[in-house]
Structure 1
Amino acid sequence: MTPTPRIPSLLSSPSDVPLPAVLDRLDRLTDWEKRPRGGMRVGLDPMRDLLHRLGEPHERLRVIHVGGTKGKGSVCALIEAGLIRAGLRVGRYASPHVESVAERVCLQGRPVEDARLAQALARALDAHEAARRDGTAGQDATWFDVLTAAALTIFGEAGLDWAVIEVGLGGRLDSTNAVGSEVAVVTNVALEHTEILGTTRAAIAAEKVGILKPGAVLVTTLPADDEAGAVVAARAAALGCPVLRPAISDGAAIEEENAALAGLVLDHLGRSGALGRDGAPLRANLLDAAARASARLPGRLERRRVRTAARAVPVVLDGAHVPFNLAAVLRDLARAPDLSGPCIALVALAGDKDAAGFLSVLAGYGASVVATEMPERRGHAAAALRALAAAEGMEAEAVAAPDAGLTRAADLAARRGGWLLVTGSLHLVGALRAATEA
């Protein structure tokens, strides 16, 4: 049998590949972030074929793999910050991005340079095209497969101590699940992507815990007697994997929950013999105030403002897109003394999201809604969101264009002495973040 040709390493790749041109090649592939997901192909064979052609870069990595309904991006960033604080070399893969695709691939807490990302993407795309010529599984690789393969290629050739990998969607069949890991984190489980992952928390938990591999440890907030927690605990028992749960007080803030999970991961690694550059075991107290500050991500409880003719309006950017997550966000924001006035929420939601449930949560907090929508994204129409909000008894209007929606929502907040929440989609946050200021 003829061996599969390997794509040359980054070290031998040209250094002048322009990123926009490579992204144009990438954008010709199927991107399930922009399409209805009911027809998503399942299986990891395309991803494995790409990685094989790229020299199995993931096999050179020590991986911490993080999934869950909410908080997974922030938990990844906190783990990354703690490992960097210990003097280690770390890569982090995240999704989606807010403003630039390079945000998804970070080395030492910073997005990779455009040239380096372009080279890796070009190699992954070449691998995809070679698979098409050969008629192998990689011919069916998607946009996210190729980007994930590029990220793992960068990490595999960067001499990392650790790679922190965020699940894209679900877990078991996610592109990132081609990696092995020493720690698997399932932050929590709520109803999301039900057309793909299942219609119960138990079914969704079974998909998310699919990232757990034999020999790894599972870290989760889910109690064993919870519907979803029982599923992940049973999977861990079947694989012989220990389960670790952080001590989190009732009503803890989102940031505290995320830090507790990340700290528990670091403590476990330290107890297992993982050392920092100074030779000391890794530990939770690496997450000091400076490390936590460095781990704050754009679009996650991000505080900014918008200037209007009347005054500067406080703005919170948060990509919450399920009722469970939004409720936690609003609970935390209710504790902020500078957000005591009425809330005007600028909302866009993807078509597969529970719009009625999401708006019901906003109604419970007395918010008014300006509904908008994202061009080129599969989503609820602004008029439909306005109607659902009105059915909840909320004051609501529809402004289809996001920039015009931001202007309208900010003006309402300014006149009423209130504040603005931009939510429902990280894509919406990314489109509008530059129109706000720190």
Structure 2
Amino acid sequence: MQVVGTNGKGTTALSLARALGAEGHPAGAYLSPHLISYTERVRLGGRYASEEEFAAGMGRAIRTADEHGISASQFELLTAGALLMFAEAGLSWAVLEAGLGARHDATSAAGAEAVVLTNVALDHTEYLGDTVEEIAAEKLASLHSGSTLILGSGDRTVVQAARRACESVGAGLVEAWDSELDPAETPELASLAPYARRNVALGLRAAGTLLGHDVRSETRREVAARTGLPGRFERAELRGVPVVVDGGHNPAGLAAALDGVCSVYPGRPLGVVFAALRGKDIPSMLAALKDRADSLRIVRPDNERAAEPGWIQREFGPRDSRGRGAELEGDVGEALERAVAEMEETGGVVLVTGSLYTAAEALSRLRRSGESGERLDEGR
């Protein structure tokens, strides 16, 4: 089972795997990227792989590649190691989150009997194409005769591309964008942020399609209660101030995070800590923040591809919703502390977003705080 799409792949894949397990069909999940530990990439049944299991599985994949003179990328080795671990664990299903597109993605080598497409937006255009239609074609390229596509998008362009792709290779199509995904029809998911609700519901629908029957209400409640992935709308609390960490790294993902914060914490002031990688659509993301952020801090995560805050300021002049220029900060931890201090005075909420690298640094800071008694909900 392969999960492809621009946003929401991880949550959808995890929800699908958990639903299959709750219905009596243990599933492994291969997820990417990791934020704190490589072990976040592999779930065996209902738990993450241990460091020992992960090292053993990946070690075997590396040795096999070396013995046969195979030149493989890190992602290819990780994918091979995960599949080996799933096979040895005797799991009924493997759920693979694609890394980039599908045509040349390592997860496509598994020849999945079913593919879930979450959505399509403009991201990674340097690799996948300049239009939604071109990107959709890349994400649908792993379909083959006899496979099934479970489509989670109602975008007309994407739907048409999906229908053409399925017809051309002889694949089945389940259009999952319907009333079954309406929040009003899924009360078990009502407490989730809007985009998380959509992704979890899609995972549940995919599980039902694979099993040939709707999943039980008990399964829906269990999956809804345990949806979290590190850095995907992960909620914490620092000195009494709610902090949401979300690695939204494109305009659609950032907009979903902002909608989620406003849904979960309605009417509260919002302080944002933002950083992005070079090559991303930074102007569009800053435009969204200008409409919603009561204060804005620009930082640089520890990554060679990170955009410099000074460059962002010179090129785009980022401002908050009150027209004030963004504050430039030295690092993510300092920016988080200052944003929390400001929101302490106003009863507000802090959102850390723009990159999964930014999310990882924020989570490291928050988890250190959690060891000293402050609460962190890891969503596991």
Does the alignment reach a TM-score above 0.5? yes
Gaps of at least 5 residues in structure 2 are: 185-192, 367-374
Aligned partners of 1:183 and 1:218 also within 8 Å:
yes
Q: Take 1:377 and 1:124, find their aligned partners in 2: how far apart are those partners?
A: 28
Q: Take 2:285 and 2:183, find their aligned partners in 1: how far apart are those partners?
A: 23
Say yes or no: does 1:423 pair with 2:353: yes
Cα 1:234–1:321 change in 2 (3 A) is same
Say yes or no: does 1:295 pair with 2:222: no
Q: Which residue of 2 aligns with 1:407?
A: 337
Q: Which residue of 2 aligns with 1:305?
A: 237
Cα 1:287–1:386 change in 2 (3 A) is farther
Of the three residues 247, 251, 262, the one matched with 1:323 is 251
SS in 2 for 1:315: strand
Aligned amino acid, residue 342 of structure 1: P
TM-score by length of 1: 0.76
SS in 2 for 1:202: helix
Aligned partners of 2:31 and 2:40 also within 8 Å:
yes
Aligned amino acid, residue 260 of structure 1: A
Say yes or no: does 1:219 pair with 2:219: no
Q: Take 1:394 and 1:237, find their aligned partners in 2: how far apart are those partners?
A: 52
Say yes or no: does 1:372 pair with 2:299: yes
Say yes or no: does 1:179 pair with 2:93: no
How far the C-alpha of 1:169 sits from its partner, in A, is 1.2
Cα 1:207–1:81 change in 2 (3 A) is same
Q: Which residue of 2 aligns with 1:340?
A: 267
* Aligned residue-pair number: 354
Aligned partners of 1:79 and 1:265 also within 8 Å:
yes
TM-score by length of 2: 0.87
RMSD: 2.1
The aligned runs of 1:100-249 (5 Å cut-off) are 100-132=37-69, 138-139=70-71, 141-223=72-154, 226-246=156-176, 247=178, 248-249=181-182
Q: Take 2:74 and 2:2, find their aligned partners in 1: how far apart are those partners?
A: 20
Of the three residues 270, 293, 297, the one matched with 2:211 is 270
SS in 2 for 1:152: helix
Q: Take 2:219 and 2:306, find their aligned partners in 1: how far apart are those partners?
A: 38
How far the C-alpha of 1:198 sits from its partner, in A, is 0.9
Aligned partners of 2:149 and 2:166 also within 8 Å:
yes
Aligned amino acid, residue 265 of structure 1: A
Gaps of at least 5 residues in structure 1 are: 1-63, 133-137, 272-280
Q: Which residue of 1 aligns with 2:242?
A: 314
Aligned amino acid, residue 227 of structure 2: A
Aligned partners of 1:190 and 1:201 also within 8 Å:
yes
How far the C-alpha of 1:131 sits from its partner, in A, is 3.9
Percentage of matched positions with identical amino acids: 33
How far the C-alpha of 1:75 sits from its partner, in A, is 0.6
Aligned amino acid, residue 121 of structure 1: M
Aligned partners of 2:269 and 2:346 also within 8 Å:
yes
Cα 1:314–1:410 change in 2 (3 A) is same
Aligned partners of 1:236 and 1:243 also within 8 Å:
yes
